Structure 1
């Protein structure tokens, strides 16, 4: 079967290879065998390949930090999932392979109404957005200010803030995004401009702004500091600008602002991941969260997908194997596809 291996830590163009590997075999007790359908290729995957992330698999290794697929078979004592379920792959189960064995108890079952391209992107950006909103215990009606608001994380912040009774002020770079984010539930959307901090203060009036989420860093951080009030928390979770996090220490002291950098895989966050993934799926199913779409590449065309990512941003890898015409195995019948023209395989292929 097809997989993508990290052969050595270094530049992804040289170190990530499309390979043919044996199928995993039958699941053991507590395991499930999952057919991977779609999995993102995103910049955080490249950071892992470059040995920048604190995750160090023994090489050569499949990598890929998230994905969605269909349960093919389950091992003894598994009761939480069953063959045919659509599931999200958990942290620690590398996804860039046609089939993977996963710890069944950590799989998140999602409603089949959710397209698999959306499901494949539910375990990192939405969970990050939820955890960022929870960075500080705020009373209902409080303001949360963020930049990079049209990103997957930014859209998730909007959805989870609304769920928790908070209001959002969202900074974007293009005029056409204003209406889009307002339709997703954003309270205020402002286009980035030198006077945006003044406009935010005019909106919030005497209300304190105690939480600011920074996905850009660099000069954008200073702009965010201008919007915060005394005793606020500034959380830096991304570096889209490519510049380091270097806030003005005098401003921090004058406003008594606390700063922190966010990493979703800290031990204190891991117990929340599965529940927040399930909540994210629920929000998507009810059209209260829609993640930005991404172009789809066949996994065998990984080099082309990587080139697109470098130029434009996230893509989805399609790991569905080519259909075997006229062959229906017992395993396929168990999984619920191959038995009818409405089977799971056809659903996954039509989801994009």
Structure 2
């Protein structure tokens, strides 16, 4: 099968080249998917640079989410059959013509979506569900503040929060991105090109939950933006991972600071999340409250161009490889 290799083991986007490997076979409890499309995520870029190694047992091939058809199934797999149209969350291996995955991490493609759209769902859906609704405990009538609002995660978070009956305050860099976030459903959309957003958030009533992908540069403003009992959930730190936190502010405001990663969770936990995502978010996709937003599609062999495009940061929504 054709795959994308990282020439030299790590490097710039140009290190991504077409290679060839043996097609894997599914073991017990696994499914082999004929990949039709693969989503691109920032962890892929970090792994390409040598900064985010795959967890034990995961393939070294990039790619955390795919959509396609079930090719074959291993022993003890009862739900899936060859030919089923599915999408899946992977520990790695998505930039390839075939991928093996735990059958419990596979979801049906929602009605009305094609493979490209479906490949944009798993990583964002799992991430938003666990961080916004489980760790962040966002409830109907509350307000979510989401940074990086036009990223794949941001786009999903805006729609899912609105689908749950919450208000959304969104920050992004540039007037065009602020307009895009508003069009996606953000009640308040802030152009934070100057790095400042606190006054606008406070004027809008503050936030119950902050979904933070920026990190250090926004730490102090995040603390001040939260309402009493608020939850600050960190899922990335593009501006750095070291920040000073006023513990007295946490105590006085009864605030919660938490964070998580998805890729390193064990198979049972990902299976639990898959079931919860299918139960909660998939109906919202079916009724149109949540829709995947794909900015650009590249062929598999142009993975290097796709990485460069994502790193430039001009996209709204997801970047996807067509396999």
Match status 1:153 vs 2:147: no
User: How far does the alpha carbon of each residue in 1:67-102 deviate from its partner, in whole angstroms, 9 at most, with x for none?
Assistant: 111112334553312222211123335212112233
User: Deviation at 1:274?
Assistant: 1.0
**Where in structure 2 are the equivalents of 1:158-173 lying within 5 Å?**
158-173=158-173
Which of these two proteins has the greater Rg computed from alpha carbons? Answer: 1
User: Deviation at 1:65?
Assistant: 1.2
User: Deviation at 1:175?
Assistant: 3.4
- Which of residues 233, 236, 241 in structure 2 aligns to 1:235? 233
**Which residue matches 1:334?**
none
User: Deviation at 1:138?
Assistant: 5.1
User: Deviation at 1:179?
Assistant: 5.1
- Which of residues 246, 260, 274 in structure 1 aligns to 2:243? 246
User: Deviation at 1:11?
Assistant: 2.2
- Which of residues 316, 319, 330 in structure 1 aligns to 2:320? 316
User: Deviation at 1:37?
Assistant: 0.7
The runs of 5 or more residues in structure 2 that have no matched partner are none
Q: TM-score, normalised by structure 1?
A: 0.75
The size of the alignment, in residue pairs, is: 314
Q: SS of the counterpart of 2:154?
A: helix
Q: SS of the counterpart of 2:71?
A: strand
The runs of 5 or more residues in structure 1 that have no matched partner are 320-352
User: Deviation at 1:35?
Assistant: 0.9
User: Deviation at 1:20?
Assistant: 1.7
Bigger shift: 247-256 or 124-133?
247-256
**Where in structure 2 are the equivalents of 1:1-352 lying within 5 Å?**
1-6=1-6, 9-13=9-13, 16-24=16-24, 27=26, 29-53=28-52, 55-56=54-55, 61-92=60-91, 94-134=93-133, 135-137=135-137, 139-178=139-178, 180-192=180-192, 196-204=197-205, 209-240=207-238, 242-249=239-246, 251-252=249-250, 255-265=253-263, 266=265, 270-278=270-278, 279-312=280-313, 315-319=319-323
Higher strand share: 2
Is contact 1:212-1:224 (8 Å) kept? yes
Is contact 1:3-1:21 (8 Å) kept? yes
Is contact 1:88-1:120 (8 Å) kept? yes
User: C-alpha separation between the residues in 1 aligned to 2:148 and 2:65?
Assistant: 21
Bigger shift: 63-72 or 105-114?
105-114
User: Deviation at 1:287?
Assistant: 2.7
User: Deviation at 1:48?
Assistant: 2.5
Bigger shift: 163-172 or 1-10?
1-10
User: How far does the alpha carbon of each residue in 1:23-46 deviate from its partner, in whole angstroms, 9 at most, with x for none?
Assistant: 335x55544332101112332112
Bigger shift: 29-38 or 79-88?
29-38
Is contact 2:17-2:301 (8 Å) kept? no
Quickly say closer, same or farther: Cα 1:157–1:149, change in 2 above 3 A: same
User: How far does the alpha carbon of each residue in 1:145-183 deviate from its partner, in whole angstroms, 9 at most, with x for none?
Assistant: 222222221222222223333222222333344554444
User: C-alpha separation between the residues in 2 aligned to 1:60 and 1:225?
Assistant: 39
Quickly say closer, same or farther: Cα 1:298–1:54, change in 2 above 3 A: closer
User: C-alpha separation between the residues in 1 aligned to 2:179 and 2:58?
Assistant: 46
User: C-alpha separation between the residues in 1 aligned to 2:188 and 2:243?
Assistant: 27
User: Deviation at 1:246?
Assistant: 0.9
User: C-alpha separation between the residues in 2 aligned to 1:308 and 1:202?
Assistant: 35
